[in-house]
Structure 1
Amino acid sequence: MPAVVRDVVVESGTRARFSVDGGVGRIRVAFVLPSLGSSWPCWDRSLTFDGKPLYRVGSFCDTCELGLTLLVWPGDQAARIAARMRGRLGALDRLGTALFAGWSLVLGELETGHYRALLLDLPLERVSEPARSWWYRRAAARVQEDDDSALDDRPEGHWPGVGHFQLTAPVPGGRVPSTYGAILPLQPPETLDPATVARHAAAITAGKRPSAVVLGWIVDRYVEARHEERWLVGVVLDGHHRLAVYAAAGVPARVLLLARAGEGGVADGGLEGLAEVAAAYGCRD
């Protein structure tokens, strides 16, 4: 039975919600099998594609550091699914029911569940040096705040193992002071096609805003029961070339963020963090 996208509610031009029934769950965050003899039957999680772990995501432990680690790149099927999204991404400036109806087959690749869709203009930078990433900088800031010398001074120890995009500054919040943002690739950055980059660069220079699609989630952490922080984490479903051009040009990147909500969903930190990101970076066009 094919997956069904239902209960589409467009709350505004930049916010919508929908549900997926009978989702394939091709790309999802799932628990990994514990090692033999482990006392924890469910602990580590990975972002998986077709059951293959792509990024190690870590545990639900809310006092542990958040860390992601690249394990392997997905196969060609991920690129084929991404290509099915592109027809509507050239000039996406408002969300509408027709968009989700047209993408029903693609959205059916997600897990069954309730989702939020946000159309955002995100100020992104591309980082390829561990010391420049929020993974390391936020840990260094905590050490300075505590006047503590316990930081592992090797930046690569706080690094997902691959160049990626990140918000240029943390998003200020209410209950949690800062939200850090990182968007990770699903293809090697060095494989970007120069001709495609040039084509998108010309379009963006001309004032067009082609969109990327990101599967994202919010994670709240109270590190060592002393430091409250929130992360917006995402992976690029489609738009690696577009994001690279936006970051190089210093132009906010048009991003359609899809996040699963609800208990046990990908959006661990709840809807509060998504609302703060939307308030800060919701598309204004």
Structure 2
Amino acid sequence: MLLQFGIDWNQLLQNAIYYGVQALIAIGIIVIAWVVGIILGKAVNRLVERTGLEKAFDKTDVGKAFRAAGVDLSNLVGMLVTAFVIVIGIVIALDYLKIGGEAGRIVADVARYLPRLIGGIILLSVGIILVAILTDYIGKLLTGLFPQQFVEIGEMLRNLLLIGLVALIVSIALDLMLFTGPLVYPLILGTVIIGAGIFIGHTIVRNIVEDHPEFAGVAPYAKFLVYLVFLMVGLGAIFAEFPQTAHVVQNVAWGVAIAVGILLAPVIYTLAKRMVEEAKK
């Protein structure tokens, strides 16, 4: 019955053997990559532990946050290395199979993108770790250079440097992962502005209160005002590519500025009156 369809059994058997061997070779490549990835991951894990990099990272604020979240640095780096090697093996295996047609093109595109994705995650993770260690070291140098009354300035500079370098690492990682668009860089810039504003406002207000305790009652309002200013500037940067939204943010900022000005008028008057009275004495 089957002979009526003109089936070439020899050719069918040869194709089955050929594609079966190809599939076995591809699976073998993935298995080898998996084994190599596990070995390299464990080696990197031990290397991070023995070099003292993990201990140095745990002393930083970012490292403490990682520990609080239950994330172990050496295990994280080892897992990322293992994942990267396995992904490379999958890419090689898929390229070896040479799947044709539209499905093959889609699979090839996904396979080519996977190393970028894992590489971006590795760059982001390792970059943040190195930035945390570097800024912690620079922060200790700065706090040692500044006089005791200006130690907070050194801490503020360290935090600003941390924000800037993290933003740089994030932008490079997003470029590597091809996460680009009109909103990406404005979003990073706006986030940096808002984060910097929080650190600057907190440091400035704290220093003023320490030098002039009489301003302690006004400090929360001043801090809120500084935060609000940087928040508006950051939102303006984030939505800079969207004129209508940016216009709304601008109008809101003007409204907030007018309201704050009205609220601060009595405070300024009271402080000015007190200064005049003290000057007369």
TM-score range, shorter chain: under 0.3
Q: TM-score, normalised by structure 1?
A: 0.21
The structure in which a higher percent of residues are helix is: 2
The structure, 1 or 2, with the larger RCO (C-alpha pairs under 8 Å, 6+ apart) is 1
Larger radius of gyration: 2
